[in-house]
Structure 1
């Protein structure tokens, strides 16, 4: 079995290993998933809690148990007819710990390293101080200050007989070319060098970094290792003293030694402006690898391909596909390698091809290119669509007005995101912008008609193009934009023209040509014989640099900045979503599902991930606010007035007399009007259902969780504090405000009001949660369950969403009884678990119905039509009907603490079924309900949703019924 019918995502780390996963295999199998979808398996940085900082592609992470434990897990799963989908990270590696042999070799030998072209390094930097060097921006302060403080030292690794510069946990190898001078450093006017060590030093004389000297260097290092084994390290320690950081002369000698290396140690703040190698986003500890090069591709995938061949894994999830030069070509190559090994897999696994999905964020209207030959995305698109379906479009106007009043402006989300893009380009990705601009400037200098386009003009034009880019990136084919690319590029070009003076029109036209316009007839290099190949390569390089700028810019500016600035309704501020798109109609949601069924019927569909900003049930509850928008705006204002005495100035003093929310003066207190509004939404969204306001310890633990989110949110917003320049006083004042309003002594005030309000909207939030649960499992695609979310998921952004999961409690809560029997105790979440369990069971007994079945939107008629979502899955003569309650806040009875609309409230609301089902009896897979379809094909909602707010209807003949 290769194609999953359902997956369960697990976050592996040293505290939850392969063996821990295997210990829970019975539960996973009983739940009904077919595959475990595992975070990266390869060796990561020591202590990594996520695995995306890979340091060795060729080794299964020892902290997870190594390859032996992985095989034990695979055996346990195979015995239960289950498989593994592995997360792989082809775009970048972790570099600052000593575990990355490739990177250490680059630091040691520079561009002469065997791995110099494995990483995306500019060895020809325009900065003379960086030519032939790698910037190493890892210092906590300026280089001179750290050197003078003695925090940079020269050390000797006796085990490997290597010299290195050490700074905190960072190790920087010294090139063996300098070993002779270091070893002779122990000689003084009074003390001669140990003759044996002098002989070793001679072996390093006249050594060069050229590859042809590598054998001699290796031999000299072996001799040094032998010397240490025989004589010890005392003489070498004496030599190191000559490079001690605490005396002027020796410190200067150390500085000169470091200056000769193939790296330049630098303050971390220099990275944004001067880094000369591509990073993952703006993270200086993750270096991009050039997977487009054949030798890099093979080295990075050898282990994964072997694990696939041996039947250990069934497929892969490709992390950050947009970071690669050519995702299309990458997917084709990987698909080809899998196909070559398919026939070598254990015969009992069948001949299905490898499962291949990509992590890709799609903008509204954007689709994954079919010609990549991927099975689909990791499901952010579905998470956006189902989330938008839960929102009432009537709430958009009042919530927008309230937010604008708080913000003191009418800035839309699009404008907020563009402002964030400008900030990120200026402060975080300036070096990447320079690199792309220089590539275009080199093209300009190659022809008389373009050589007067200056670097500054090109950079300004490219800035505006990137600021207005509506998608993560384009995907040129051999340097030429595709038809799918063109609308997005032209939209960005139009935005750039509108924001720049008319004098920039010519340079924008030329950039349009350079970056892959189809009809670039006036490309002189194309027409001339000499230099055509070089010019084509330069254009492809420029295209690659621009695409590898626009993708991290979108991520950093939108998800990691604008999402924390624009707070109209935080349930729409989710990875893969556009907060500017408030809601989807049922018809629009059906259209999205139909498209997925046609294009990517096996892509993942999910509602929670390891990267989500808010748990699926937080978003479901917050969506209820769109249904009571006017009331919520009043509640928010009342809470702000109630908590005004606890406001503090940015320096921490109480500011009880601060102005009313929305007034200009009120923006001077911490956390500020907008941040306060987002805090209230967060408190409402993640308040645990079982938390009593009188539980002081429980409230304190809750406040600590929210405080961690708040700190991250304030820094990501980059308005009054940031990761690069934290305002500790403002952050402390913001934290004090949070703990003041949640203080136990005020439980009869705001704390009680918060709990009462949450209790009132929680049933409607639960309806939303159960709706998105059943729709996810029954929609076209492969349903993905994030670890632990089979119970209520009121988590916040990481690290909160990566807390340990109590699988034993979930195992104990599994039952074969219908989920409807657990609705009365819905707060314990067993009803959600029951729906997940039963729906996955149906997928198991009728896999073709969901993996290959047609998707049929169903029309709903009557007074409650807008409050119902209904669709059918059909395969041959078999049907499954999904019916769910939507926008339930106004329909639920305030006298009943139950997420269920009373049947009488549905009145004449009915569902129009396919005529093939007319007159048939249907049975609910989730409850005892057995509604009869009328002879006209109508099914009354009052009969279908009498026991649960959702239903999954089948005919009597379905196995397992």
Structure 2
């Protein structure tokens, strides 16, 4: 696919991810802009900053798409921050969440309206609720699995509390808040009515008003009413009722006291179960059914983000939902304060292709109107239609027309490509993170690592089998409700044909689970009655694997499922049934992604621990590294198909930071060294294990993961006074999450506190900072060469990211060494003041002492991270000054010859007379303590095709020039010269021939 990138799309040269929350606000980002500009960053890549649940640390739990998050500052603060960006000619890419909203906590007004008005809610079409679910008792209701125990227990503990506020009644469960349907106010208002009669004569105005309100309540249309006029009547009259009731209470204190006492009575008396009957009866009449959170496994009837009950999916395929959720974003696009979008979890959408097309169309309208001096809200409809017609005409000529910079969060599996019909510039870069990590892993040692890992954990794991079993586990215990719903849908389809109607619900559901468990990618993208060849292959593969694995199941069931997924309609399949088949396929596609994510990333990746640097989002841990040829091949393909895709090495979603992976990758270079470490450490620490139910804890696999985690996350500098304790706590928290995600000895659903505490005890014991701790002493002796090689690895992967085809993205703080683990560890505060001072110090030092002297100084003391900051600064500024070279430049892999040829990745980027060569070494443990000069590189050299001898190149990291020379009929650059003073090189062609 050759993308036709046209029109006004503002493409960044480098992005920097900022995590906004209550501790990092718009004003903090504004102060950071000059530093990022000086660093060479062109665009801030902002985490979601729309209104999220109070206290959110990440912003993905949005409650209102059309408000800025007040915890981040005011609109004036936001405008000041955006003005600072514009002052520095910087753009802003917003991480936008179209798939889901937070539905817990009582802050989502749309969700509260749905809970008050049911299927006829004005916002009912926003949420993906099944109002006719498998469980008939939930018809026209929504199950809310939020309780910490069984409903009856919670009720009789008095944890569900009725309250009366401003004329309306609510149920509270700690921070959660649920509205009472006005139609059901009467039982509260009329309870003990005879006692009120003693206070007021029958003709008293306040008493008559109360009775009148009760009568009005009785005449309200029920929440299942679908007639438009009746629905409008209910909406109008229920608000009138609330106002009347509040006015009545405000003006008549006895009425208010009467209602408050009734509320107290309804709330029951702990220890008296019968006293809760009134509240129970009231709750049974509501749209929602409050339930123990575990019931979500089987009975939940609203689609979620993965298996997170708090995040309810929204129906972005509905035009009104799209328009209303994008109103503020389009306003920001029109203003130019948002110049790009990152779309979160595109695979969760009903039709991602259609969504991206509508999004590009909407952005085109806003940017074109802005160029004309108007906005969508104040522009005549005829002009809007003219502009949209213009876009549609361009789309007919070039389906890949992309007027706005958009990337999608899409995880591509092995050999999978981005769907060609998505009008976006690429992905968020997981595939590059895996490629560059794989390049740093020595593929030759895969079998030795297999054997060593198997010996240590005392079993021989098979990653494909682990993934299959974990996907099945997720479907049974986390997403059973979704599977049951899809199984019933499939059963309904089977009933319409005489040849398939004998299939049982149970057999269809089991077969469906088998197909999903074998699905090789996150999802397919069928949205019309034509199935793409790519998707056909994935479906046929999954069905064939499921058939082979289940010889006892009728093959005809799998054939039926394949027919449906491939839309191979029968002669008897009518038009309406064909629509149902397609709808089933699209819902099936929305489910396979979450199952893959939970089964693979969030479970299997914590079980198969052979070399955890490879266990990254979008990675293939069973493949031990990546060959140089494969890395170059991916770069060539990216330059051709998605030249503006993001290139990531760390993100908020990565399992480990780039520097942790870079260090762990070093272990692949010497299996014997790692084996000796494991044996020695295991022997030293075996006395700290605890026997739990006859088994030593941690188990061998947990211990193996723990050692890699300690090696990878150990700081480059000595611990501060409080640093050691903080490190131990981070490792404890990581191991807790890792164990629960693995779902072997404990889990989030069924925690095993005894096992978890035993592992924590082990961590504390082996990391106790006392002189007698032999493990800690051995660790401190062993780690220095690993730490140094890991830092050198990191420099190479940073250079490769900055020079490869695509847009380099930097996660906050990673311009210095960052040894973070999975979230929330990677959301710790970043010391930006320190980084800003360091950058200014580098700038002044270069002016005073020169580039070469500075480079040598930084290399001599790498622990403080300035050497990485220096590399980022020099490469990004060079890239910004030569953006056409990197955006449009061709990619040419360069051959490396000599004894160290396997130790270097080199390539050239060239365009319109400009040329630059990137040289990134790897496998540093074989290169000596300081990988520089003739002793290290001997006669190894880079072959420079299409050049003559005597051509000069300037290394931007040292300022030194190197000159091509002839050798055996080739033009070469000696690595001893290229890497004489710095471990990596970015060589700019000077284009002047020197005297020979």
TM-score normalised over the length of structure 2: 0.91
Matched with 1:57 is: 65
Task: Provide the C-alpha distance between the structure 2 equivalents of 1:455 and 1:631, rounded to a whole number of angstroms.
Answer: 55
For the 8 Å contact 2:932–2:976, the answer to whether it is kept is: no
User: Is structure 2 residue 667 aligned with structure 1 residue 625?
Assistant: yes
1:34 is the counterpart of 2:68: no
Which one of the candidate residues 956, 978, 981 is aligned to 1:947? Answer: 981
The counterpart of 2:137, out of the listed 108, 113, 129, is 129
- Identify the residue that residue 597 of structure 1 maps to in structure 2: 639
Could you tell me which of 236, 241, 260 is aligned with 1:215? 236
Tell me, what secondary structure is at the counterpart of 1:372? coil
Q: For each residue in 1:429-469, what CA deviation from the matched residue of structure 2 results, as whole angstroms up to 9, or x when unmatched?
A: 11111111111111111122211111111111111101111
Residue 684 of structure 1 corresponds to which residue in structure 2?
711
Q: 1:758 aligns with which of 783, 787, 797?
A: 783
SS at match of 2:963: coil
Residues 869, 883 of structure 1: 8 Å contact kept: yes
Aligned counterparts of 2:291 and 2:555: Cα–Cα separation in 1: 39
1:872 to 908, 917, 921: 908
CA contact (8 A) 2:528 2:582 kept: yes
- Give CA deviations for 1:889-934 in whole Å, capped at 9, x if unaligned: 11113xxxx4x34432211111111324642111001113311012
Structure 1 match to 2:5:
none
Aligned partners of 1:610 and 1:798 also within 8 Å: yes
* Residues 421/754 of structure 1: CA separation in 2 closer, same or farther (3 Å cut): same
In 1: Cα distance, 2:771 partner to 2:547 partner: 55
Report the Cα offset of residue 381 of structure 1. 0.5
Cα deviation digits, residues 71-103 of structure 1 (max 9, x gap): 211110100010100000000000111110111
Secondary structure of 1:756's counterpart equals: helix
Query: Matches of 2:215 and 2:76 in 1, distance apart?
Result: 45
Aligned residue in 1 for 2:806: 781
Question: 2 CA distance for matches of 1:406 and 1:218?
Answer: 68
CA contact (8 A) 1:244 1:254 kept: yes
User: TM-score under structure 1 normalisation?
Assistant: 0.94
Conserved 8 A contact 2:443-2:625: yes
Structure 2 residue aligned with 1:234: 257
Structure 1, gaps ≥5 residues long: 526-530, 652-664
Aligned residue for 2:392?
none
Give the alignment partner of residue 78 of structure 2, picking from 70, 85, 88: 70
Aligned to 1:167: 173
- 1:69 shift after superposition: 2.1
Instruction: For residue 973 of structure 2, give the secondary structure of its aligned residue in structure 1.
Output: strand
Q: Say whether residues 1:257 and 2:257 are aligned partners.
A: no
8 Å contact kept, 2:134–2:485: no
Q: How many Å apart are 1:691 and its aligned residue?
A: 2.4
Aligned to 2:385: none
Contact in 1 for aligned 2:766/2:773 (Cα 8 Å): no
Residue 360 of structure 1 corresponds to 410
Change (3 A) 1:450 1:352: closer
| Secondary structure of the corresponding residue to residue 855 of structure 1 | strand
The correspondence of residues 236-315 of structure 1 with structure 2, limited to 5 A, is: 236-246=259-269, 247-315=272-340
1:567·1:674 contact (CA, 8 Å) conserved in 2? yes
Cα distance, 1:182 vs structure 2: 1.7
* 1:771/1:950 contact within 8 Å kept: yes
**Other-structure match for 2:433:** 383
> Is the aligned partner of 1:187 residue 2:212?
no
Structure 2 SS opposite 1:36: strand
Partners in 1 of 2:723 and 2:265 — Cα distance? 58
Are 1:913 and 2:944 matched, yes or no? yes
Find the aligned partners of 1:902 and 1:756 in 2 and give their Cα distance.
27
1:206 Cα shift? 2.1
Structure 1 residue 202 corresponds to structure 2 residue 215: yes
Deviations 1:510-538 (A, max 9, x none): 11111124xx253521xxxxx41x21221
Distance across 2 between alignment mates of 1:496 and 1:727: 33
Quote how far apart the aligned CAs of 1:251 are: 1.1
User: How many Å separate the matches in 1 of 2:520 and 2:353?
Assistant: 20
1:674 paired residue among 701, 723, 726: 701
Q: CA deviation at 1:227?
A: 2.3
Distance 2:171 2:404 in 1: 45
Measure the CA separation in 1 of the matches of 2:684 and 2:571.
66
Alignment check: 8 A CA contact 1:94 1:287 kept: yes
What is the rounded CA distance, in whole Å, between the counterparts of 1:155 and 1:174 in structure 2? 10
Range with bigger deviation, 745-754 or 865-874:
745-754
State the SS of the aligned residue for 1:849.
helix
- Which of 342, 345, 367 lines up with 1:342 in the alignment? 367
C-alpha deviations, 1:178-222, integer Å up to 9, x for none?
122222225245755751433333321221233142222222122
User: Which moves more between the two structures, 227-236 or 928-937?
Assistant: 227-236
Summarize the Cα distance change of 1:271–1:917 in structure 2 as closer, same or farther, 3 Å threshold.
farther
Kept after mapping to 2: 8 A contact 1:919/1:937: no
- In the alignment, the residues of structure 1 paired with residue 588 and residue 189 of structure 2 have an alpha-carbon distance, to the nearest angstrom, of 47
- Deviation per CA, 1:529-581, whole angstroms, max 9, x where unpaired? xx41x212211221122112110011111111111111101101111111011
2:25 and 2:364 map into 1 onto residues whose CA distance is: 30
Task: Select which of 600, 610, 628 maps to 1:568.
Answer: 610
**Is 1:524–2:572 an aligned residue pair?**
yes
Contact map agreement 2:519 2:538 (CA 8 A) in 1: yes
| Moved segments of 4+, more than 6 Å | none
Relative distance call for 1:479 and 1:236 in structure 2 (3 A) is: farther
**Residue of 325, 329, 353 corresponding to 1:328:** 353
Distance 2:832 2:722 in 1: 24
Once the two structures are TM-superposed, the CA of residue 957 in structure 1 deviates from its matched residue by: 6.8
The 3 A distance-change label for structure 1 pair 36 and 293 is same
- Long gaps (5+) in structure 2: 1-8, 201-205, 226-230, 375-400
1:236 CA drift (Å): 2.1
**Candidates 136, 152, 156, aligned match of 2:164:** 156
- SS of the aligned residue for 1:12 comes to coil
Residue correspondence of structure 1 range 292-691 to structure 2 within 5 A: 292-345=317-370, 353-501=403-551, 503-517=553-567, 520=568, 522-525=570-573, 531-532=574-575, 534-650=576-692, 668-691=695-718
Q: Deviations over 1:827-852 (max 9, x none)?
A: 11101000000000011111101111
Is 1:719 aligned to residue 767 of structure 2?
no
Q: Distance in 2 between matches of 1:410 and 1:243?
A: 60
Give the Cα–Cα distance (whole angstroms) in 2 for the partners of residues 216 and 697 of structure 1: 62
Alignment partner, residue 378 of structure 2 = none
- The answer for the alignment partner of 1:658 in structure 2 is none
Residues 951 and 991 of structure 2 are in contact (CA less than 8 Å); yes or no, is this contact kept in structure 1? no
Instruction: Tell me what 1:101 maps to.
Output: 109
Contact 2:638 2:806 in 1 (8 A): yes
Q: 1:550 & 1:629 partners in 2: Cα distance? A: 37
* Matched residue SS, 2:534: coil
- Aligned residue number for residue 855 of structure 2: 820
- CA deviations on 1:455-501 (whole Å, 9 max, x unpaired) are 11111111110111111011113154211212222221111011112
Q: What value does the CA root-mean-square deviation take over the aligned residues?
A: 1.8
Pick the aligned partner of 1:881 from 890, 908, 917: 917
Q: Give, in angstroms, the shift of residue 126 of structure 1.
A: 2.2
Find the aligned partners of 1:628 and 1:222 in 2 and give their Cα distance.
75
- Partner of 1:931, secondary structure, is strand
In 1, Cα distance between equivalents of 2:407 and 2:926: 40
Q: 2 CA distance for matches of 1:919 and 1:414?
A: 53
Instruction: Kindly indicate whether the alpha-carbon contact (under 8 Å) linking 1:35 and 1:84 is maintained by their aligned counterparts in 2.
Output: yes
- How far the C-alpha of 1:367 sits from its partner, in A, is 0.7
**Counterpart-to-counterpart distance in 2, 1:476 and 1:642:** 56
